[in-house]
Chain A
C-alpha cells in the first residue's frame, strides 16, 4: 500500500526494473535505449548514490514547490529545482541520466532553493554533484555545454583565476555596450592606472606567482581534477600540461638565478 501511495504522490512514477528499458515520461518520447545507455545510466546512478554528499544533501521532499517559486532559472528555462530533487530521489538510472543531459546545466547555483527548503535539502549541491558526474563520465552533453567554456578552464587551471581583462573582446561582448568593449583598445594603459601592482596585467585577473600556479596544478593532479577534465576535453589537458612543463623548467632556472632552494 505504501509503495502504491508513493507512486501517486511523487510526480515521477516508480518504475519496475523490467520497465526501465522503456522510455519514461521524462525522456520525452521514444529514444534508442541500447545496452550501452542502460549500463552508462546504471554506472552513473551507482556513483551518484554512493557519493557521501547524496545522503547529506537529499533528505526528503513534500513537493511544496517553495524552491521552484524562488528559482531564477525556472522563470526562463524548462527547469525546476523541485523536479531535480525528485529526479535525485527517483531510484531510476534513466531518469537521472536524462536530467544530466541538459536540465542540470540551467541551474544558477544561487542557493535560493536551499534557503527556502523546509526539509533542509541541498538542492543546488546535489545539482553540482550531477554536473561533476556528467563531466567525469564524459557525457556528450557536458562536452557540448563546456565547449565555449574552454578558455575559462585554461585560465583557471594554469593561472588560478577565472577571468581576465583581455576576455572582454568586442566580438563576444557586444551586448554589454560600446563602453564595455572600448576598454579593449587601451587596455594596457588602463590597467597600469590601477593603483595595485598585481592588478596591472591584462591576461589574468591578477598576477599569480609561478610557485602558486605550480602548487595549484599539483592540487589538480593529486585530487583527480585533471582526470575529470580529460574525460571531456583531452586536448585541453594536453595544452595545460605543456604549459606547466615549460613553467617547471623556467621555475628551476629562476631558483638558480635567485639562489632559492
Chain B
C-alpha cells in the first residue's frame, strides 16, 4: 500500500464522520425541549419560583442559568456523609447563618451513579428512575433539589438529557413512578451546591474573620462538575479569564485567599470510583504524583481546595502512604465551603469536623490565626459529654421516629429558627 492521496483520505474521513451530525445534539440546550414536553403533559418541570430567590449566572456557552438560593431540598452525597461529614455540616451551617429554609431528610437515596460508573451494575432506566424518585420528593415537599455531589450533579444532567431525548426510557420511568404513586418530574435546572456557594460568595466573604492573604490555595476542579456535561458549568470572564469554571476560585479570591496555579490543574484526582476502594495503588499513585506533588513543588500550597466528594477523599487519604517514597507532603484538602466556614468562625471540630481528614488541617488553621487548641479542648469535652449521655447539638431539630419508616412531612418546609436562636 502506497501513500494515500488527499481524496482517498477525505473519503476515509467522510466514511468515519457520517454520523457526526449527532454531535450537534450534544450541545443543544436540552432545557428547551424539556419545557415542550412539559407543555405536552409528558412530564412535569419543577419550576424555580421567586420563593426560591434565584440568582442568574452564565454557563460555558454564555447560556443563562438560574441558581435557587432558598427553600432547598438537600440531595446529600454518600461519600461526604460517610467520610467527610464536615462538608455538608459546613454548608448547612452557612444556610442557618443566612436564614435559608431547607429540608435535609432520610427520604433520599444516593444517585447510585457510583455503582453504574464503577461497576456497570445499573442501566439508564434505573439511573433515571432513581433521579426522578429523589426529585419527586423535593417536588412534593415544595422544595428545590440542591445536589451536593459532583457525580450526582453530572449524572442527573445526563439523566435529564436521556429522559428528554429518549421516549422509551421516559415512558418506562413514568410507568415505574406511577406504580409508586409518583409523577415523572424534572427540575428546571440541575444545581450543584458549589453554585449556591458561588452566588452567595459576597455574603460569605463578608463573614471572614481572619486575614487570608498569606494562605496559598490550589484549586482542583472536579471532573464531573465541568467535564461530564460541560455546557452547564458556571464560567465568568472576570474569573481566570473565563478559561476555567468560576467556582470555587471566585469565592477564594473574594475571601482574600492567594490562589496559585499548577501545571496539572486539568487532571482528574485519580478517584475512579472502584479504584479508590479496590485498586488503590493506582489512585494513590495518581493523586500523589500528578496532583499533590505539583501543588506542593510548583505552587507551595498551604491547602488544596475542591468542590466534590471523591476529590476531597482521594487527595486527602492518598497522601500518607507517600511517606515511603519520601513524599512527606500532607497538604490539607478541604471543600471550599469548609475553608469558608473556618474563615467565618465556625467551630473547626463541631461544624467543619476537620478530625475526619487524614492530612492534618491544624497547621493551616494556625496560619489562618485560628486558636485550634482551645477548640480541640472544647470538642474533647463535648465527646466526653456525649459518651456520658449528655446533650447533643444539632443544626436543625431532629426528625421524628416515624420518619425512619415513612416519607411523611409532605408539603412542609422546616424553618431552622430554633437553630438560629441558638446562634449556630
Which A residues are closer than 8 A to B by beta carbons? 1-2, 4-6, 8-9, 52-53, 55-56, 58-62, 70, 72-73, 75-77, 89, 105, 107-112, 114-115, 119-120, 122, 128, 130-135, 142, 145-146, 148-149, 152-153, 156, 160-165, 167-168, 173, 175-177, 179-180, 183, 186, 189-200, 205-213, 215-216, 218-220, 222-225, 228-229, 232, 251, 254, 258, 260
Contacts and interface: CB of A to CB of B under 8 A. Distances in A.
Contacts, number: 322
B284 A175 contact: yes
A223 B129 CA distance: 8
Given A196-B89, A212-B407, A110 B19 contact: no
Interface residues of B, number: 117
A232 B267 CA distance: 33
Contact of B82 (A75, A167, A176, A260): A167
B106 A192 contact: no
Contacts of A134: 120
Contacts of A207: 106, 404
B9 to A, nearest CB: 7
B19 A72 contact: no
A197 B92 CA distance: 12
Interface-central residue, A132, A134, A173, by most chain B CB under 10 Å:
A132
Contact of A59 (B23, B104, B133, B282): B23
B81 A199 contact: yes
Interface in B107-127: 107-110, 112, 114-126
Interface-central residue, B16, B114, B154, B405, by most chain A CB under 10 Å:
B405
A15 B250 CA distance: 54
A208 B109 CA distance: 7
B141 interface: no
Contact of B118 (A52, A76, A149): A149
A156 B392 contact: no
Given A59-B22, A163-B79, A205-B79, A1 B8 contact: yes
Contacts of B382: 193
Nearest to B317: A176
Interface in B263-281: 266-268, 270-275, 277-278, 280
B393 interface: yes
The 5 closest A-B pairs by CB, nearest first: A131-B120, A177-B320, A160-B109, A120-B23, A110-B268
Contact of A52 (B105, B166, B290): B166
Interface-central residue, B82, B104, B387, by most chain A CB under 10 Å:
B82
B423 interface: no
B267 A196 contact: no
A56 B124 CA distance: 14
A162 B11 contact: no
A164 B78 CA distance: 8
B15 A251 contact: no
